[in-house]
Amino acid sequence: MRFVTSPLFEKNLRKFDAKFQRRVWDKLALLRQDRNHPSLRYKTVQALKHLNPPVKEISINMRGRVTFQEFEDHIYWRNIGGHEILPRKSSA
């Protein structure tokens, strides 16, 4: 499965140091091999589960996460950053 990155993902990835960037690519490769690996903490972003396909997230470490969508032929990397990249749940 191929990876496609959004301009926002690329822009925000550049904000991190080289060591963190290497960790990101290692985690993305791990996702490709075993999405259920415990270190990924793979899950659906509840506020965006209505999208088709739903938005998922994995954890890079305590300070970073990646949001993405899994299409039939590719994974679209939406954003990278801390908790601020996740939408707030509406209180209705």
Instruction: Walk along the chain (92 residues) and give the pLDDT tens digit of each residue.
Output: 789 999 999 999 999 999 999 999 999 999 989 999 999 999 999 999 999 999 999 999 988 999 999 999 999 999 999 888 888 765 54
The pLDDT value recorded for residue 89 is 64
Please write down the long-range contacts of 84-90, taking CB distance under 8 Å and 24 or more positions apart: 85/12, 86/45, 86/47, 86/57, 87/45, 87/47, 87/48, 88/47, 89/46, 89/47, 90/47
Q: Model's pTM, two decimal places? A: 0.87
pLDDT of residue 15: 94
**Does domain 2-78 sit in CATH 3.20.20.70?**
no
